[in-house]
Structure 1
Amino acid sequence: RIMTGGEVPEGADTVVKQEIVKADDKEITFPSEVRADDNVRRKGEEIRSGDVCMTKGTLLHAPEINFLAALGIHKVTVFKKVKVGFFSTGDELQSIDQPLAPGKIYDSNRYCIGAMLREKGFDIIDYGVIKDNPETLKECLLRASQECDAVITSGGVSVGEADFTRKVVLEIGELISWHCLIKPGKPLAVGKIGKAYFFGLPGNPTAAQVTFYAIVSIALALLSGQKDPKLVYALAAAKGKFKKNVGYTDFQRGLLTMEDGRVTVTPAGSQKTGALKSMIKANCFIYLADNQAAPADGELIPVVPFWGAC
């Protein structure tokens, strides 16, 4: 007998599971289909001396940690965590611990952005809510750009009279991109202030989440040293009624299910940029390219499962 994890005795090359062994006094019998090397793990069978077991830019999840530990590697060199500062903008925003006043909305985006950043493992600084005042906004952006590697704002990047973020960023830094053909999330701003990267997310809650996962999270992963970060796509059969206009890349909220061995995806409720409930119901983004109209029933379309978002 040899127990799991034991060293194979000299002269032996195979272990037979005791569940298929019949013992009778001093003799044992087992089926003839037992093959050499069954249930034996040989030294170096996966990684040999001198092989590269993990390359630079690999994101360390639980399997990678397990693999390193199994090789007896107790210390590795990693990139310093990216520090991200974030805040919301708008006179209409109100703290969630107070009764809602007329004409106000709760500041939900800041909590969502903080949660998304924590999920990705970044160091974060929450700068709170900044009112619609150019000087206050400028002061906060300058401070955040000096203290952080990246700065994320929510709201103030559209074309309203009180949308000062774009104007202030152009004054103290540069905008690489403003507006993108993505829905929801058209008013997305990307730029730099000093050495810090700047991302101005839309104020609509779902648009802020979509642009974070589809664009900002990829950029922050690159900044973190991750090698070739990208969204993970799969194909599913369209089911139900879809709406889609040609000209925009659309990330719709969807619900992936398995029916009769076939993966299907349906819209997960309202696709309005302010609708939050459908994000809770959804388990994927439905990716519809800019040149694609509403998919027909049964048509295979790309989806991004939420666990596949970078």
Structure 2
Amino acid sequence: MSASGCDTSGLKPVDEAIAELLARVPALPPVEHVTLSDALGRVLAESLDAPFPVPAWDNSAMDGYALRAADLSADGGWLPLAGRIAAGDAADQQLPAGHAVRIFTGAPLPPGADTVVAQEDCQVEADRVHLPGVTPGAHVRRQGEEVKAGEAVLQAGKRLRPQEIGLLASFGVARVAVYRRLRIGLLSSGNELREPGEALAPGQIYNSNRYCLLSVLRSLGMEVHDYEILVDELAASRDALALAASEWDMLITSGGVSVGEEDHLKQAIRELGELHMWRLAIQPGKPLAFGEVNGKPWIGLPGNPAAALITSLVVARPFLLSAQGCTEVLPKPLRLTAGFAWRKPNNRRQYLRARLEQVDGEMRVCLHPRQGSAMLTSASWAEGLAIVERNRTLEAGEVVEYLPFSELLG
């Protein structure tokens, strides 16, 4: 390895690195039960089978008139009305032969009825209704047509979105079994770092990684403890890591994992545990590291802000979600048309800050002109990441993989 750290030999491919991290996922957190109002973003710990069919009974799909289709001629005609049924009413009485009943959306069909006609297609006079010719079974939601009793509805490992929470509520579930939130100790390394609001001396910068990564982790549903800035000293790094490992499920640091003389984290990790992986074939973010501290997983993210953000979303995210109990952790890139050319092959997979823009009447993936690993302005401009594979070039108009931030955050 060169002293400058600029050589690219021995870099682990991104997919291999993610697979290695996933192979080392620790035991899942304990299970707890929370109310549905507190379940958003939590990971389901127990599968759910439908306790009853949905719909639970045949019901009307719209406001109109329910009848027995055989009681009406092909051309339609008049039928006397035998009452009305609203949503929430019981429908215990048999529909009299040759009659119709006024019915409302969601109301149960009375025994004997098999068809509903929309009210706008009907004409009412006193106690009778004129109906057009009907198709048997029209506008009826059949019992169990969405879900049958006993059918699998939600599998353990599902991260709960609003639609899953609504589905749980529809089955009367008031409290749901979820995995306890993963508890992360977050540390930033660098003597040059200062907190927003403090005055900067020459050579100092504000600690953007602390707040960017804190937001990423919380968007993934993690509980995060934010430690003070690590001093660039071996003993201080070792002590801080040991303390954090004694208090939290896993550790994430930013900075301190490059090859500089002031980067002490890797040595502290070796003294406290084991360094499993270092240096990936990814741009930005080559100096990412992974290991363990006193038996707790540790991910060392790069110090450059854009590199820290991108590697947290691309490499760390699948590991964190899997450790939280999620079963689907790998994002699904879109294959879209490139609105840019990339003519310089690189032996690292590149994640380029990009967004969709309309070019010649077509939505294309377009790049920000500045892709430096320290530049968060381009990440803020972007809506996702364009992926250029190792040793590949790309011409405008070719297909490129695109990862929207909406697929990576939350």
CA deviation after TM superposition for structure 1 residue 100, in Å: 2.1
Query: 1 CA distance for matches of 2:249 and 2:400?
Result: 36
Moved more, 255-264 or 65-74: 255-264
Say whether residues 1:308 and 2:391 are aligned partners: no
Higher relative contact order (CA 8 A, sep 6+): 2
CA deviation after TM superposition for structure 1 residue 4, in Å: 1.9
1:269 is matched with: 369
Superimposed CA distance per residue, residues 204-229 of structure 1 (whole angstroms, 9 cap, x where no aligned partner):
00000110000101100110111131
Distance 1:4 1:149, change over 3 A: same
CA deviation after TM superposition for structure 1 residue 123, in Å: 0.8
Contact 1:23/1:29, CA 8 A, preserved across alignment: no
Say whether residues 1:156 and 2:256 are aligned partners: yes
| SS of structure 1 residue aligned to 2:179 | coil
| SS of structure 2 residue aligned to 1:130 | coil
Equivalent positions of 1:229-240 (< 5 A) are 229-240=329-340
Distance 1:18 1:99, change over 3 A: farther
CA deviation after TM superposition for structure 1 residue 188, in Å: 0.1
Superimposed CA distance per residue, residues 152-209 of structure 1 (whole angstroms, 9 cap, x where no aligned partner):
1010000011001111111111111100000000000011112311010000000001
Contact 1:232/1:305, CA 8 A, preserved across alignment: no
Distance 1:17 1:270, change over 3 A: farther
Q: Which amino acid aligns with 1:114?
A: L
Superimposed CA distance per residue, residues 255-278 of structure 1 (whole angstroms, 9 cap, x where no aligned partner):
123567743100033111111111
1:121 is matched with: 221
1:282 is matched with: 382
Where do 5+ consecutive residues of structure 2 fail to align?
A: 1-101
1:2 is matched with: 103
Contact 1:89/1:131, CA 8 A, preserved across alignment: yes
Query: 2 CA distance for matches of 1:206 and 1:156?
Result: 15
CA deviation after TM superposition for structure 1 residue 43, in Å: 2.5
Query: 1 CA distance for matches of 2:177 and 2:343?
Result: 48
2:314 is matched with: 214
User: Pick from 107, 116, 121: which aligns with 2:207?
Assistant: 107
Q: Which amino acid aligns with 1:60?
A: L
Contact 2:273/2:295, CA 8 A, preserved across alignment: no
Contact 1:241/1:267, CA 8 A, preserved across alignment: no
CA deviation after TM superposition for structure 1 residue 10, in Å: 2.2
User: Pick from 17, 28, 40: which aligns with 2:130?
Assistant: 28
1:179 is matched with: 279
Say whether residues 1:133 and 2:218 are aligned partners: no
Aligned pair count reads 307
Query: 2 CA distance for matches of 1:103 and 1:79?
Result: 44
| SS of structure 2 residue aligned to 1:118 | helix
Query: 2 CA distance for matches of 1:49 and 1:260?
Result: 52
When the two structures are superposed, what TM-score results if normalisation uses the length of structure 1? 0.93
Where do 5+ consecutive residues of structure 1 fail to align?
A: none
Distance 1:28 1:242, change over 3 A: farther
| SS of structure 1 residue aligned to 2:141 | coil
| SS of structure 2 residue aligned to 1:247 | coil
Q: Which amino acid aligns with 1:305?
A: P
Contact 2:158/2:328, CA 8 A, preserved across alignment: no
Query: 1 CA distance for matches of 2:197 and 2:351?
Result: 32
Contact 2:339/2:359, CA 8 A, preserved across alignment: no
Query: 2 CA distance for matches of 1:12 and 1:257?
Result: 54
User: Radius of gyration: which is bigger?
Assistant: 2
Query: 2 CA distance for matches of 1:21 and 1:101?
Result: 80
User: Pick from 252, 257, 271: which aligns with 2:352?
Assistant: 252
Superimposed CA distance per residue, residues 34-58 of structure 1 (whole angstroms, 9 cap, x where no aligned partner):
5443333223222222222111211
Percent identity over the alignment is 35
User: Pick from 282, 299, 308: which aligns with 1:199?
Assistant: 299
2:170 is matched with: 70
Say whether residues 1:50 and 2:150 are aligned partners: yes
Contact 2:346/2:391, CA 8 A, preserved across alignment: yes
2:77 is matched with: none
| SS of structure 1 residue aligned to 2:336 | strand
RMSD: 1.9
Distance 1:261 1:48, change over 3 A: farther
| SS of structure 2 residue aligned to 1:128 | coil
